[in-house]
């Protein structure tokens, strides 16, 4: 069928949104072909529409219970949604039918490890606030004689250090482990003192920049600073979540951003995105990248990835600019009665829950039609212009800024100008 062929061609070019359009056309013409749903499920997975991906995988299996790719797609959807036991069951089905499939076997092994680790952590959990840092003696960490990268003097981040760091990472060199840990320690202390909703005051006529998703695209981050100026007290920034995953330089991006936060704590802001979570970092590459760039050694057995997770748990969930603009990564809520005070009261020091205010701040998306609908992502909600209008009126706000969705122009204005989406990772996918 022509639509299906076009969809496959687009998918091979990683144009997943257009592929979804053509697979939908193919399904409309013949809704009995399991492969159409299975292939569209894959495209939905790539665009992080995990709810839609799961629904398509289920539909494919309803049509053809022996369609193994659908089990794989469903398992991947469950993994992304943190439903690891259900994912494990489907991966097991795939490996039994195709025991020589190395990728399926690797996914099964990975998922099995996660299930066992969660059970183990639950069994030994005593103090949720115990830090990885408690088992690390940073001061005694030795600096190799041949290390010629940026150095912190007495653990202090300076502008010169950050400039040297930008150059070092541009040349694809590493920051020494000791300095990385010192940055993480300092930025954790800063975030711990901040509320879940941070209020920002910008004087009239002064510049303030909001950036969306970066997703480990370091050279695009450098381009932002080249075009818009390096962060400073007179050139403040807010980076609105999803700093890591997918891109190959997530470690570099996050260490630069954290360094700027330490350098300018009152003029550089960072909000948590849905990718600042353990599950997403396991699925989309950040955890593996950290372990690759800062591997365990005989003398150093603590996981840096675990410390990143700790820091992410302390990231603020939203920012309010001049009491008029609310900025969050995802979007609005299932409940019309949510107020700014409700956001302030959120206990954010944890992994994102599957529902509630914190979940919706990280995962929700706007939709063009009025009302609310089930989230394409499987968590959060989709909200219409009427929902936005009521929220703004109730909280005496002018508009919201959010990120979370790819926009070809880097931004999109919707909901009668009251909802602005900013996405800062070009050539995404």
**Mind listing the pLDDT tens digit for each residue in 148-204?**
999 998 889 999 999 999 999 999 999 999 999 999 999 999 999 999 999 999 999
Same domain, 318 and 286: yes
Q: Is 353 part of a structural domain of the chain?
A: yes
Whether residue 429 lies inside any domain: the answer is: no
In this structure, the answer to whether residues 98 and 117 fall within a common structural domain is yes
- pLDDT for residue 114: 87
The total number of structural domains in the chain stands at 2
- Full domain range(s) for residue 36: 2-124
Share of the chain above pLDDT 70, in %: 96
Mean pLDDT of the chain: 93
> 52 and 92: one domain?
yes
Task: Assign 11 a pLDDT band (cuts: 50, 70, 90).
Answer: confident
Strand 365-366 versus strand 237-239 pairing type: unpaired
Q: Point out the domain boundary residue: 99, 124, 149.
A: 124
3-state secondary structure the chain: CHHHHHHHHHHHCCCHHHHHHHHHHHHHHCCCCHHHHHHHHHHHHHCCCHHHHHHHHHHHHHHCCCCHHHHHHHHHHHHHCCCHHHHHHHHHHHHHHCCCCHHHHHHHHHHHHHHHHHHHHHHHCCCCCCCHHHHCCHHHCCCCCCCCCCCCECCECCHHHHHHHHHHHHCCCCCCHHHHHHHHHHHHHHHHCCCCEEEECCCCCCCCEEECECCCCHHHHHHHHHHHCCCECCECEEECCCCCCCCCCHHHHHHHHHHHHHHCCCCEEECCCCCCCHHHHHHHCHHHHHHHHCCCCCCCCCCHHHHHHHHHHCCCCEEEECCCEEEECCCCCCCCCCCHHHHHCCCCCCCCCCCCHHHHHHHCEECCCCCEEECCCCCCEEECHHHHHHHHHHHCCCEEEECCCCCCCCEEEECCCCEEEEECCCCCC
Given 124, 147, 164, the domain boundary residue is: 124
- Residue 126 clears pLDDT 60, i.e. is over it: no
pLDDT tens per residue, range 330-372: 999 999 999 999 999 999 999 999 999 999 999 999 999 999 9
* In-domain check, residue 427: no
pLDDT digits (tens, 9 = 90+) for 64-75: 999 999 999 999
Least confident piece of the model among 8-12, 148-152, 283-287, 340-344: 8-12
Q: Which of 176, 267, 275, 404 is catalytic?
A: 275
State yes or no: pLDDT of 286 exceeds 80.
yes
Q: Is 275 an annotated catalytic residue?
A: yes
pTM tops 0.85, yes or no: yes
Query: Of 124, 157, 183, which residue constitutes the final position of a domain?
Result: 124
Do the domain assignments include residue 428?
no
- Is the model's pLDDT at 139 over the cut of 90? no
On whether residue 51 sits in a domain, the answer given is yes
- As a whole number, mean pLDDT of residues 366-390 equals 97
Q: Report the pLDDT averaged over residues 131-148.
A: 81
């Amino acid at each position: 069928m022509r639509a299906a062929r076009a969809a496959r061609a687009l998918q091979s070019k990683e144009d997943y949104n257009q592929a979804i359009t053509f697979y939908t056309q193919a399904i409309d013409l013949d809704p009995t072909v399991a492969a159409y749903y299975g292939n569209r499920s894959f495209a939905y997975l790539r665009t992080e529409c995990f709810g839609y991906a799961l629904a398509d995988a289920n539909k494919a299996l309803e049509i053809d219970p022996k369609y193994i790719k659908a089990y794989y797609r469903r398992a991947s959807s469950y993994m992304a949604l943190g439903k690891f036991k259900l994912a494990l069951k489907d991966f097991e089905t795939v490996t039994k039918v195709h025991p020589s499939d190395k990728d399926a076997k690797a996914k099964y092994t990975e998922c099995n490890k996660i299930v066992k680790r969660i059970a183990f952590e639950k069994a030994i959990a005593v103090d949720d606030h115990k830090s990885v840092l408690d088992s690390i003696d940073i001061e005694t960490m030795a600096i190799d004689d041949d290390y010629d990268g940026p150095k912190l003097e007495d653990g202090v981040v300076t502008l010169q250090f950050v400039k040297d760091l930008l150059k070092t990472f541009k040349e694809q060199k590493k920051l020494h482990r000791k300095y990385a840990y010192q940055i993480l320690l300092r930025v954790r202390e800063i975030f711990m003192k901040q509320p879940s909703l941070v209020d920002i005051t910008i004087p009239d006529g002064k510049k303030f920049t909001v950036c969306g998703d970066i997703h480990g695209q370091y050279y695009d981050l450098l381009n932002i600073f080249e075009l818009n100026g390096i962060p400073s007290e007179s050139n403040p920034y807010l980076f609105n979540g999803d700093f890591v995953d997918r891109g190959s330089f997530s470690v570099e991006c996050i260490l630069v951003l954290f360094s700027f936060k330490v350098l300018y704590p009152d003029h550089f802001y960072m909000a948590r995105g849905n990718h600042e979570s353990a599950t997403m970092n396991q699925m989309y590459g950040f955890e593996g990248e950290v372990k690759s760039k800062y591997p365990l050694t005989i003398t150093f057995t603590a996981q840096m990835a675990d410390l990143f997770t700790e820091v992410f748990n302390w990231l603020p969930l939203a920012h309010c600019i001049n009491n008029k603009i609310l900025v969050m990564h995802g979007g609005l809520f299932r409940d019309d009665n949510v107020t700014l005070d409700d956001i302030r009261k959120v206990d954010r020091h944890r992994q994102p829950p599957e529902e509630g205010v914190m979940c919706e701040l990280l995962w929700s998306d706007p939709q063009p039609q009025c009302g609310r609908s089930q989230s394409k992502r499987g968590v959060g909600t989709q909200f219409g212009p009427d929902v936005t209008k009521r929220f703004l009126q109730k909280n005496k706000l002018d508009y919201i800024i959010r990120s979370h969705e790819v926009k070809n122009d880097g931004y999109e204005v919707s909901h009668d100008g009251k909802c602005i989406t900013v996405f800062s990772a070009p050539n995404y996918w």
